[in-house]
Amino acid sequence: MGKRDKKEEPAAPVGPFHNPFAALAAKREALPVGPATPAAAPVRKPEPKGPARAVVRMERKGRGGKEVTVVEHLELPVPQREVWLKALKNSLGCGGVVEDDTLVLQGDQRERLPALLEARGVRKVTVG
């Protein structure tokens, strides 16, 4: 084994290397107090406007025994139906399609669907 050279380790720096804001910390107490913020009145959200009613029912007929949930009587324009269907499919984690004026979602979604429809502004949800 050979000799090891003993090298002195440099001293650790006291603070971060060249901190331009270090001098400002001492002057923090000398800053003037800002204006008091007035307490704003609570903003009341307007009730979301949506269809007046919706009928939610489960159906198996003509679908090879598969269960689907049908949402009827929404009375939405065609582009709006597509937007609602996409949002409901994402929330429920299922597939679906627009058939005529109804939304058809895969599976039995009768328990979870009314809360989602009410959150989107439907005033009355009838589950059948």
Express each pLDDT in 58-100 by its tens digit: 999 888 889 999 999 998 888 999 999 999 999 999 999 999 8
Would you say residue 11 has pLDDT above 80?
no
Distance, CA of 128 to chain centre? 29
Mean pLDDT value across residues 17-36: 81
Determine the Cα–Cα distance for residues 82 and 127; give it in Å rounded to an integer. 22
pTM over 0.75: no
Per-chain mean pLDDT for the chain: 84
Determine the Cα–Cα distance for residues 97 and 89; give it in Å rounded to an integer. 9
61 or 41, greater pLDDT: 61
Structure-token pair, residue 2: 């050979």
